Amino acid sequence: MKRRLLLVALGPLVIAPAVLAACSGATGVRATGADTRGDTAGAARGARVAVPSPDPVDSLPSDGPVARYRGAFARETAVLAFQREAGLLLDAAVARLRDETGLQFTEGRAPAITLLDSPDLPAGGRASLRLVNGVRRPQIDVRASAVVAGEFRAKEHLPALVAESAVLAASAERAAPEWVVRGLPTVFSDGAERRASELLLGGATARVDLAGLAPLEPAFRVAALQRIGVGERVLARFLDARLGGAGDAAALREVGVGSMDFLDAAAATEADRMLDRILEDERARSLRAVRESLTAGDIAAAESAISRVPASGGASPWVDAEVRLVRAETSLLRGEDGAAIASLDDVLARPEFVLRLRDARFLRALAALKADDPGARARAAEFARTCIDDPRTAAILQDLGVSTQDAFDLVSGDTDARAKSAARLGEKGIATTLPFVARSLRDGEASVRRAVVAAIGRIGAKSGAVELDTACGDSDAGVRSAALVALAQIDAPRGLTRSREMTSDPDESVRRAAADVIARLAPKPVAEPRAAVAKPSVPNSPKPKDAPTAVPDPSRAPAALTPPDDLPPPLAPRGKPAGVASPTPSPPSPPSPTPPTPTAPAAGPKAPRPTEGVKVVSPPAPTPPAAPPTPGTPPRRTDPPPRPAAPTAKPPAPVQPPPAPVAPAPVPPKTPTPLPPPTPPAREKV
């Protein structure tokens, strides 16, 4: 992988800059090019289903306290699980709040829960009062991306939001004290120790002093009031007096507390006890030196400090998770990617005890990229989608090829904006954007999922076939049809197999799309050749043009006919006296070196040449003696005697036309030998 420095100018971060430089500088992700490895987890998600799966959002109870959510993370497993268990958690928190504090909601005005796609919401949620049908009702807003990232812990944050909603509902006419509104949720949720550990160990540097616990002073006051107050329902009685118009001092006297100073002294005692409880784990003090060395980039000092940290023996699960996290950071500095990944996986196995959960997820994504992990891009895309408000997300988006605007739109609460963002990313066709785009197949709106399926088909990366195969089982028929067509475009064999399975889909449009894919991709049957039929031969039928030329057999040539001896002599040729032989033709000239051109066969058979024994009727006349040559004249050439004339013999009638002759090979010319004059035959007696 190409090396490129990531996250150099992102400002002060919680993670040590040296660790970031070691990870990102050696990681550098390709900005272009397809990632053919895909997501290993996606293969499990790509299991085929025989029938379309029902919409998981529609399967949720409609009468629960959580409003129907169809946003960008509606089909995420964590969001679906939260919506199923939120009703039980809410009822339990309301009952406990009534029993422990005496605060309760009016019948039918329990808080309603709404999931939102807004990066402005805090990770722990927000409680407020809203007008519903003319009645002020408490409302709890939860960020869906925080649920997916694990930053919103329902068992801890939901009771805190219920307590805050109860205080707001009780103070509809007059505001309650700020320290009660801020402190009661932390105390009631049993999250004071975790919050204290975050303040001391989860910041930019570790601290082990009381000054680090200053943000928890409201919670310490509430805890002290419940501890030193006299009677039952101390907090409810204090609020009744305070909201009835009494001041803080008068309201405190109603529950047996003399003054605010006395309450502050008790709150300081609560802070001391909390600090001692955290420092009971001796590893907490050693973490301070390790974190300072990592922040300074001194790997030798960090290794020396971490070697003095006990491997186990602590009582705090938050300190234990922090120790494993700093060991992973040190391994990344040393270049031990495998050890770092193992430590980070161990840390993220129990996210509820991780104080720096976002940092751990970010380091895990960088370590996977550095080690060329198959699911590295998918992990980085998940971090960017769920932590879109984090400044480190900009560097990941740049490596994935996704613009900041497209990323914000794809996870926004606007349905049209999400669909348009998916279409824009598909038109760009950058293969590295596939993990970020494919994650939106978990969107709650079918129109967005259809746009995402089309975008995956335009991107064309074959690793998207797994996600498209899963989309073929979507509850929406339009999504199934679009996914089937896109799957056939990027992976024809897989698309053909999936099309054959979907020919029995309950929707007609899906069946028609499957038939079109099969007609386009299925192999066409090849026609078998017809067997040759023998036709009867017809005598003297013309030979086909493409028939092979037969070679004549000399043994089957017709024999020459010999006339009998008692026939009369043949007549002499016209124009010459009887007994004078025809002049002998001149010898043929030697052939040219050019090879002879084959000529077409004659229309009829050639007459046979006369054989020996044919009698000549009239002898040739004697040749007169030659005159003496004239002086100066070249000698006259004497021609050879003429050959006897060939008898006129009628050839036999042909039975069938002979085959076309084969052009003979050129024969070198021979010098003709003159024949002796024939002996005149004896005259017959009359």
So what's the pLDDT on residue 37?
36
Q: What is the pLDDT of residue 613?
A: 47
**Span 502-519, average pLDDT:** 93
- Whether residue 610 is predicted with pLDDT greater than 50 in this model: the reply is no
Does the pLDDT at position 596 exceed 70?
A: no
**pLDDT at residue 2, as a whole number:** 34
Residue range 272-295, pLDDT digits in tens:
999 998 888 888 888 888 888 887
Q: Is the pLDDT of residue 591 over 70?
A: no
Judged against a pLDDT cut of 50, whether residue 575 lies above it is answered with no
Residue 581 has pLDDT above 50, yes or no: no
pLDDT, mean of residues 439-447 = 95
Give the chain's mean pLDDT. 77
Which is more confident, 162 or 209? 162
Q: What secondary structure does DSSP assign to 192-226, as a single string?
A: HHHHHHHHHHSSSS---SGGGGGGGHHHHHHHHHH
What residue type is assigned to position 135 of the chain? V
- Supply the pLDDT for residue 244: 83
Do the beta carbons of residue 445 and residue 415 sit within 8 Å?
yes
**Cross-strand pairs, 128:** 139
By CB atoms closer than 10 A (0-12, 13-18, 19+), residue 504 is: exposed
List, for residues 417-429, the tens digit of each pLDDT value: 999 999 999 999 9
- Amino acid of residue 63: D
Taking only the tens place, the pLDDT of each residue in 354-393 is 999 999 999 998 888 887 777 888 999 999 999 999 999 9
Q: Are the beta carbons of 202 and 356 closer than 8 angstroms?
A: yes
295 vs 444, higher pLDDT? 444
Query: 257 — phi, psi (to 5°)?
Result: -105, 125
Residue 380: CB atoms within 10 Å: 27
Are 629 and 636 in contact by the 8 Å Cβ rule? The answer is yes
Whether 197 has a pLDDT exceeding 50, the answer reads yes
Count of CB atoms situated within 10 Å of the CB of 109:
14
Q: Please give the pLDDT value at position 533.
A: 53
- If you average pLDDT over residues 580-605, what whole number do you get? 48
The tokens describing 488, both together, are: 């056939």
Residues 6+ apart with CB under 8 A from 649: 560, 561, 563, 607, 608, 610
Are 238 and 225 in contact, with CB atoms under 8 Å apart? yes
- Of the listed ranges 164-168, 213-217, 595-599, the least confidently predicted one is 595-599
DSSP bridge partners of 49: none
Q: Which residue, 354, 659, 308, 11, is CA-closest to 20?
A: 11
Whole-structure pTM value:
0.70
Q: Is the pLDDT of residue 545 over 70?
A: no
The answer, yes or no, to whether residue 615 has pLDDT greater than 90, is no
The residue type of 81 is A
Confidence at 15, pLDDT banded by 50, 70, 90 = low
Asked if the model's pLDDT at residue 553 lies above 80, the reply is: no
Residue type, 215: P
3-state secondary structure (DSSP) of residue 114: strand
Burial profile 315-344: b = 16 or more Cβ within 10 angstroms, e = fewer: ebebbbbbbbbbbbbbbbbeeebebbbbbb
- The answer to whether the beta carbons of residues 116 and 142 sit under 8 Å apart is yes
In the β-sheet with 126-132, what is the strand arrangement from edge to edge?
Answer: 112-116, 135-143, 126-132
Contact partners, residue 458, CB within 8 Å, separation at least 6 = 426, 427, 429
Q: In whole angstroms, how far apart are CA 65 and each of 108, 357, 456, 671? A: 11, 28, 36, 124
Quickly count: other Cβ atoms within 10 Å of residue 283's Cβ: 21
Residue predicted with more confidence, 617 or 143: 143
pLDDT at 29: 39
Residue 20 confidence (pLDDT): 52
Start-to-end Cα distance in the chain: 124
Distance CA 577, CA 647 (A): 17
pLDDT at 293: 83
State pLDDT tens for residues 55-92: 888 888 777 788 899 999 999 999 999 999 999 999 99
pLDDT value of residue 487:
94
Does pLDDT of 576 surpass 50?
no
pLDDT at 543: 52
Q: What is the pLDDT of residue 662?
A: 56
What is the token pair recorded at 249? 């001092």
Does residue 204 register a pLDDT over 80? no
Res 99 pLDDT > 80: yes
Band of residue 185 on the pLDDT scale cut at 50, 70, 90? very high
SS3 per residue for 335-360 = CCHHHHHHHHHHHHCCHHHCCCHHHH
Q: State the average pLDDT over residues 237-241.
A: 89
pLDDT of 502 strictly over 60? yes
Given the structure tokens 């000549």, which residue do they identify? 616
User: How high is the pLDDT of residue 500?
Assistant: 92
- CA angle at 488 for the pair 487 and 490, rounded to the nearest 5°: 65
Cα torsion 304, 310, 316, 320 to 10°: value is: 60
In a 13 Å sphere around the CA of 477, the CA atoms on its Cβ side amount to: 11
Ranked by mean pLDDT, which of 44-48, 305-309, 632-636 comes out on top? 305-309
At position 619, the amino acid (one-letter code) is: P
Determine the Cα–Cα distance for residues 164 and 183; give it in Å rounded to an integer: 9
Residue 362: its pLDDT value, please?
92
Which of 427, 387, 379 is CA-nearest to residue 407?
A: 387
Q: How far apart are CA 52 and CA 152, in angstroms?
A: 32
Counting residues of the chain whose pLDDT is more than 70, the rounded percentage is 68
Which pLDDT value is given to residue 123? 92
The candidate with the shortest Cα–Cα distance to 432, out of 401, 457, 462, 406, is: 401
Of the candidates 401, 409, 420, 463, the residue with the CA atom closest to the CA atom of residue 438: 463
Tell whether the model's pLDDT for residue 397 goes beyond 80. Answer: yes
Q: At residue 27, does pLDDT exceed 90?
A: no
Contact at 8 Å (CB) between 623 and 641?
Answer: yes
pLDDT exceeds 70 at position 674 = no
- In this prediction, residue 48 has a pLDDT band, given cuts at 50, 70 and 90, of very low
Phi then psi dihedrals of residue 616, to 5 deg: -95, 130
Question: Which residue, among 389, 392, 457, has the nearest Cα to 422 in the 3D structure?
Answer: 457
